[in-house]
Amino acid sequence: MEKKIYLRRGKDESLRRFHPWVFSGAIQRSEGELNEGDIVKVFTNEGDFIAVGHWQIGSIAVRVLSFEDEPINDAFWADKIQQAYHARLAMGVAGNPVNNTYRLVHGEGDNLPGLVIDVYGETAVMQAHSVGMHVNREDVAKALKTVLGDGLKNIFYKSETTLPFKAALGQENGFLLGDATDNVAVENGLKFHIDWLKGQKTGFFVDQRDNRSLLEHYSKGKNVLNMFCYTGGFSVYAMRGEAKLVHSVDSSAKAVDLVNANIELNFPGDQRHEAFAADAFKFLDEMGDNYNLIILDPPAFAKHKDALRHALKGYTKINQKAFEKIQPGGILFTFSCSQAVNKDDFRRAVFTAAAIAKRRVRILHQLHQPADHPINIYHPEGEYLKGLVLYVE
């Protein structure tokens, strides 16, 4: 039996503007026994079809898969993955001989709420952020095989930490196809070990690709400090950009091993690089003042809206420390990946830091997430990565 949801009067307005979520408070009643992850059809109070999507317990009750009354079947999934792949070809991140690392599916940005797929060469790493995508994981894997064909040898499913634990789905990480041991991916001609089994997110932060490229062009002859380095993406680009020295810092010892391995992979025996396992705040306090290119790419300080004030203080604090120590004429690349912190909030936090440090600062670039992390125009919440490149007099 078809499962149906009827909205309260007037609660169809955001759906009419193609916003892909139905909040629980908008629902008046349902028909059929609803289980988490079920496909449900959504109707207005007047009984008109308006959307079909995945149902889940929580404040976002339905994540919309389509605004047309169509079956969610193999053809649907294949079409959606195909559309996403075509877009990546158009962006030049797929089908590119020097780049095989890209985000193929970015949730709402690709009209597939709750689904993230990163491609690393012959391996796709898939994450479900909704119960519905977890339930449909094998269907998505099948569509991936159809669209990517022989170019795809492995699919690793990694949702242990991204699904609501209360759903008790018995989710675990594992291969849905293949069992890759070779895990070196190529980004803009640079090689990276990707630990999709144990690494953060899908194993790599694909979203800084363009910003790393920009950094490369600022690196020549510079003393570079890469704070919150993780796999050392920015460090490897700085090395290729002919930096004089590159220091990478992360509080995780595993990250320090990763960055060292990635430097060795691209620049074996190169003495310009050194990595430190240290807390960023402590390192910034104790370091000298001989850096003239500093990258600050911290983890999301605000995971939720209510943590906003605290997060802004955190951004001000680390940026202030960087402003105090950076050499005159230095360049600062500073980022926030907190969705809850908007562009203006972030800019104000950095502005405050500059003022406290009493430095004269120019904004050279305003950075954001790359094309393969697209923002659905009807879902502005999809914008999360912000960055500033600053010239510090």
**In the complex, least distance from residue 392 CB atom to ligand SAH, rounded to whole angstroms:** 20
Paired with 116 in beta bridges are 106, 127
Separation between Cα atoms, residue 325 and residue 338, nearest integer Å? 25
**In the complex, least distance from residue 251 CB atom to ligand SAH, rounded to whole angstroms:** 4
Positive or negative: CA dihedral 190, 294, 382, 231: positive
Active site residue 337: yes
Start-end of H helices in 267-388: 280-286, 308-325, 343-357
Nearest to 252 by CA among 267, 233, 231: 231
Rg of the chain taking only CA atoms, in angstroms: 22
Separation between Cα atoms, residue 92 and residue 87, nearest integer Å? 9
**In the complex, least distance from residue 35 CB atom to ligand SAH, rounded to whole angstroms:** 36
**Contact between residue 108 and residue 140 where contact means Cβ atoms under 8 Å apart:** no
**Contact between residue 206 and residue 101 where contact means Cβ atoms under 8 Å apart:** yes
Residue numbers at the binding site for ligand SAH (CB under 6 A): 205, 208, 228-231, 233-234, 250-252, 255, 279-280, 297-299
What SS3 class is residue 222? coil
**In the complex, least distance from residue 253 CB atom to ligand SAH, rounded to whole angstroms:** 10
**In the complex, least distance from residue 214 CB atom to ligand SAH, rounded to whole angstroms:** 13
Separation in Å, CA 94 to CA 100, 101, 145, 183? 6, 8, 16, 18
**In the complex, least distance from residue 255 CB atom to ligand SAH, rounded to whole angstroms:** 4
Options 229, 337, 353, 385, the catalytic residue: 337
What order do you get walking across the sheet with 154-157 strand by strand?
101-106, 115-120, 123-128, 154-157, 174-177
In the complex with ligand SAH, the residue whose CB is nearer, 154 or 208, is 208
Strands (E), the chain: 4-7, 21-23, 27-31, 39-43, 49-55, 60-66, 101-106, 115-120, 123-128, 154-157, 174-177, 184-187, 190-193, 223-227, 245-250, 273-277, 293-296, 330-336, 361-368, 386-392
Amino acid (one-letter) located at 246 = V
Token output for 350 = 């950095």
Only one residue has tokens 């709402």, namely: 108
**In the complex, least distance from residue 233 CB atom to ligand SAH, rounded to whole angstroms:** 4
**Contact between residue 80 and residue 157 where contact means Cβ atoms under 8 Å apart:** no
Catalytic residue positions, numbered: 337
